[in-house]
Amino acid sequence: MVLKFTKQIVFLFMTVFGTLGNISVSVNYMISWWGSTEKKPIHLILIHLAFTNIIILFAKGLPNTMVAFGLRNFLDDIGCKILIYLERVSRGVSICTSSLLTVVQAIIISPRASGWRRLRPQSAWHILPFFSFFWILNALISVNLIHSITSINLNISQLKNGYSYCHFMLESQKTKWIILPLMVLRDAVFQGAMGGASGYMVLLLHKHHQHVLYLQNSKLLYRTPPELRAAQSVLLLMLCFVFFYWTDCAFSLLLSLSLGNNSETIIVREFLVLGYAIFSPLVLIHRDGLLAECWHAHWKKLRNCLSHLSV
């Protein structure tokens, strides 16, 4: 009884809290996007990441919350296929978008004499083709789910354990050997790029820190450029991603090797799947002071408008 109540509270809190956080981030960056003359590529990438996280929370967190509250058989066969397929594609797009965010931020803060500076996006609209490529790539990689996912209303004896509201049917070995290497290759390429860009940013931030210490010893005033502050936020975001991704992999391996399904382990694993989508907006809000800065600016504009109307 206590475990059931805990599941209800945890899944409800994760879904609502994560969705509101990502909506806040996306809305505020949209306002900043349309309200400024300079369209920053990073803002567009963060909007896309928040949008992807919202899809993950609706496709994964909402059904888990409904199951925790005792609702079952709420999806038919087509509903299961759409929901699980959308969740898997969105998780892949989240990996790709996070990698793109790290690489673009590393290019932005690279020195002017560096060759990487030439790759800097001249316009935020140059980022849009990458988004299309990410969705198409992950849609093709996950296409096998259309055939292997089915509703729990069907013959359970033909299914293997999967989601608590949908089931995976047994796949052929040929399909596994095609899809699995593609997923591993995708993760290796994009996480490799993410790791290389993160290491490069750490090196640049270390050099900047040494420069700041020199100026402080010389009693000269120096302010950290906004690009470097943004790089620090991106690095925190990537640490968040790495923690949840690899911990999820470890728990998935533990579940696959265990003979029985431990309820506590399954709950922890479900939390890890949603962890990045939940905590990534918190990193941005806390690190950048996003909400406070944005609402302060809009309150100031509103106050000026009201003062003009009163006159």
Cβ(20)–Cβ(101) under 8 Å? Answer: no
- Predicted local distance difference test score (pLDDT) of residue 99: 94
Q: How far is Cα 59 from Cα 56, in angstroms, rounded to an integer? A: 5
**Beta strands of 145-304 (E only): which ranges?**
149-151, 159-160, 166-169
For residue 55, give the nearest of 277, 237, 249 by alpha carbon.
Answer: 277
Task: Domain count for the chain, please give it.
Answer: 1
Count, residues in the chain: 311
Tell me the HSE value of 244 on the side-chain side, using a 13 A CA sphere. Answer: 19
Q: How far is Cα 65 from Cα 54, in angstroms, rounded to an integer? A: 15
Count of beta carbons in the 10 Å neighbourhood of residue 9: 11
- Predicted local distance difference test score (pLDDT) of residue 271: 83
Residues 6+ apart with CB under 8 A from 79: 151
- Predicted local distance difference test score (pLDDT) of residue 42: 87
Long-range contacts from 157-161, C-beta under 8 angstroms, 24+ separation: 161/261
What tens-digit pLDDT sequence spans the chain (311 residues)?
Answer: 666 677 778 788 888 999 999 998 888 888 877 777 677 888 899 999 999 999 999 988 888 888 777 776 777 778 888 888 999 999 999 999 999 999 998 888 888 777 777 777 777 778 899 999 999 999 999 888 877 777 666 544 444 444 566 777 766 666 777 888 888 899 999 999 999 999 988 888 878 667 666 555 555 555 556 667 777 788 888 999 999 999 888 887 877 776 555 667 777 887 888 889 998 888 877 766 544 455 455 455 545 544 544 44
Q: How far is CA 299 from the centre of its chain?
A: 30
- Predicted local distance difference test score (pLDDT) of residue 52: 95
- Predicted local distance difference test score (pLDDT) of residue 167: 73
- Give the domain extent around 26: 2-310
- Predicted local distance difference test score (pLDDT) of residue 306: 45
Residues 6+ apart with CB under 8 A from 307: none
Q: Report the DSSP beta bridge partners of residue 166.
A: 151
Instruction: Give the domain CATH number at 233.
Output: 1.20.1070.10
Query: In angstroms, what CA-CA distances link 54 with 17, 156, 206, 230, 300?
Result: 11, 31, 34, 22, 30
| Exposure string over 31-69, b if 16+ CB within 10 A, otherwise e | ebbeeeeeebbbbbbbbbbbbbbbbbbbbbbbbbbbbbe
- Predicted local distance difference test score (pLDDT) of residue 226: 66
Q: How far is Cα 25 from Cα 45, in angstroms, rounded to an integer? A: 12
